[in-house]
Structure 1
């Protein structure tokens, strides 16, 4: 079939090795995903083939990525995820300069993320390396991938800090386009990708151009969350959970207006939850559990709909609605009808502080006045005798006046 443009045998029970004859396909897309294919990927690809899409994901393939794959001059999409591939990421892949999608997730790749990805694969829109055994620091030069819209490095053994240069991902600074495409030169195939959003695996096809995701969860990353990430205004999902991150959440996080999912759980973050998060009106999933956050949970807009206590679990310093822990100054929980954030909370706290200070001042004034008046009477006998004589005189005078008034009143009633 020399003119075959699209061969899909996906989602069957094929359990053989990949035949070498497939290397002779000349055009389009080759999709053998979701089968039971065995053995290694064939190393027989050459420049004469015009294959644009190659999908061998979700099989039982082993070995490494064959060097000849990047002999395919028009290859834009390479899916090899969910297999048993191993070894380091081969440097031969840097010859795949046209790649828009590189999905090597859920394998057994080892070693570091090579710097040549940020130097040679400048057309990448999707880089998915999750669930491997990669180690070392994240190369800062990945930020040179200006077209990148999905970066998934989750569930590895990566260490070091999150590069501040990640704030330079150009495409992530704007919202995705519904009429956009992942592939540039092939419209007969709808690119698909499995993305973890809201802790759920979702396979996006038609909506894939709208998905802008950074997932660095379940690694050994340390340091603070770079403030530069808040310039990625198009982000739909940000997952930095299960690391060793420290510091506070910047107030600028409110700039991520497109954010639908935010997971910062199981880190060492501390401080107050920024009130600017009230402005994240598209947020439908939030997880801040098992950190060291403190203070009142901000309420208003979207945040007051999050009543699941597990969102804030493991932060004993947090208080206020929806938690059962009451805040220190008002002694009551703030209800779901409250609008506003930390500014209003601070105002109410200031009022409570003022009341406390007023009560303390009044008490102190009473004590001072008491001792000014009665102190000398306790320690000066003459003053004490004069004082009580005065009291007796006042008493006698008042008694006589009242007696006269009472007598006249009674005589008037008798005459009547």
Structure 2
């Protein structure tokens, strides 16, 4: 080997060893933390209640050994924080295994975070921190069924890279035992800034004051799943000037008291595979326009007051035969 080439390789190994502690000249990679991010996580842990010591593995400097933490092997930055409670969902396990307490802003040190999941925990009615909107690289945010309450901060609209947002607040029959304040939104204008959003679930979030919900969600060009069950939707317009849900394949508007008529704009959703309008007290004949939804796999119209025979419904979907 040429001596100059040999010296260059030695120099690169020295730089690799001295400046990037997780790199090795043999091509191995061990994900050691950036020290400021490790300290930020330890500070975050101090604010949590952890009755079963789920985070007891949060010791040392090797990121791969910390429960719920994923680091980039090349850079050492924390990119994923997944603290979802995966225990079977019953009231005893929910209380026993859930994390809770305070969500400290020390997490803001995790500037490269693209995945955050705190779902199925119990934060006992505290507000969603508005500073979560500062994670500019976040693509996945799941705060569902974690006992958050009060008004959703509009700062979430700053998450311009977000693909997945789950704020579902439906704890089912356990809600009456937990006595938590409801989660609500006065308006949804902040959603219109999330142009990369593909999945949105706001089930059981009180949207009674959010009269703009349909106009806003209709501006999201990449939206594929929209789940708004039990949201007390203030109104469901019968028509839309322009239907922009070109990619929407899953729509759940169940248990919202839509009203007497089935919205006509639904029949223009040419990519729809799943539609749930159950529990909406719709008083109307079965519309022939349902037959426009030739891609549909699942249709739920239960707990409504539709007029007509099942054979009429079958005829509406003659395009599927």
Offset at residue 73 of structure 1 (A): 6.8
Offset at residue 107 of structure 1 (A): 1.0
Residue 261, structure 1, aligned to residue 250, structure 2: yes
Tell whether the 8 Å contact from 1:86 to 1:107 is kept in structure 2 after alignment. yes
Tell whether the 8 Å contact from 1:124 to 1:147 is kept in structure 2 after alignment. yes
Partner of 1:233: 221
Partner of 1:164: 189
Partner of 1:133: 147
> Which of the numbers 61, 78, 93 marks the counterpart of 2:81?
78
Partner of 1:247: 235
> Which of the numbers 112, 115, 127 marks the counterpart of 1:112?
127
Q: How does 1:295-374 map to 2 (within 5 A)?
A: 295-296=284-285, 297=287, 298-302=289-293, 311-316=300-305, 318-320=306-308, 322=310, 333=312, 336-337=315-316
Once residues 140 and 250 of structure 1 are traced to their aligned partners in structure 2, the CA distance between those partners, rounded to angstroms, is 28
Unaligned 5+ residue runs, structure 2?
1-21, 36-50, 70-74, 86-96, 171-181
Once residues 76 and 304 of structure 1 are traced to their aligned partners in structure 2, the CA distance between those partners, rounded to angstroms, is 37
Tell whether the 8 Å contact from 2:214 to 2:236 is kept in structure 1 after alignment. no
Residue 284, structure 1, aligned to residue 273, structure 2: yes
Unaligned 5+ residue runs, structure 1?
8-21, 26-36, 58-71, 173-211, 325-332, 341-416
Q: Tell me the SS of whatever aligns to 2:303.
A: coil
Change (3 A) 1:306 1:81: closer
Tell whether the 8 Å contact from 1:52 to 1:77 is kept in structure 2 after alignment. no
Offset at residue 158 of structure 1 (A): 0.7
Once residues 131 and 159 of structure 1 are traced to their aligned partners in structure 2, the CA distance between those partners, rounded to angstroms, is 14
> Which of the numbers 156, 162, 170 marks the counterpart of 1:148?
162
Change (3 A) 1:293 1:52: farther
Tell whether the 8 Å contact from 2:57 to 2:65 is kept in structure 1 after alignment. no
Partner of 1:346: none
Offset at residue 100 of structure 1 (A): 0.5
C-alpha RMSD over aligned residues: 3.7
Offset at residue 143 of structure 1 (A): 1.1
Once residues 239 and 278 of structure 1 are traced to their aligned partners in structure 2, the CA distance between those partners, rounded to angstroms, is 18
Per-residue displacement from partner, 1:160-219 (whole Å, max 9, x unpaired)? 4352221221213xxxxxxxxxxxxxxxxxxxxxxxxxxxxxxxxxxxxxxx20001123
Offset at residue 242 of structure 1 (A): 1.6
Q: Number of aligned pairs? A: 247
Partner of 2:47: none
TM-score calculated relative to the size of structure 1: 0.51
Partner of 2:72: none
Offset at residue 237 of structure 1 (A): 0.6
Q: Tell me the SS of whatever aligns to 1:117.
A: helix
Once residues 159 and 226 of structure 1 are traced to their aligned partners in structure 2, the CA distance between those partners, rounded to angstroms, is 16
TM-score calculated relative to the size of structure 2: 0.65
Per-residue displacement from partner, 1:71-126 (whole Å, max 9, x unpaired)? x97111111111521113222222222111001111112300111111x2121111
Query: Which sits farther off after the overlay, 147-156 or 270-279?
Result: 270-279
Once residues 84 and 298 of structure 2 are traced to their aligned partners in structure 1, the CA distance between those partners, rounded to angstroms, is 37
Change (3 A) 1:319 1:108: same
Offset at residue 269 of structure 1 (A): 2.2
Tell whether the 8 Å contact from 2:246 to 2:270 is kept in structure 1 after alignment. yes
Tell whether the 8 Å contact from 2:251 to 2:275 is kept in structure 1 after alignment. yes
Offset at residue 5 of structure 1 (A): 3.7
Higher relative contact order by CA 8 Å / sep ≥ 6: 1 or 2? 2
Change (3 A) 1:293 1:56: same
Change (3 A) 1:115 1:24: closer
Once residues 116 and 235 of structure 2 are traced to their aligned partners in structure 1, the CA distance between those partners, rounded to angstroms, is 33
Once residues 265 and 218 of structure 1 are traced to their aligned partners in structure 2, the CA distance between those partners, rounded to angstroms, is 11
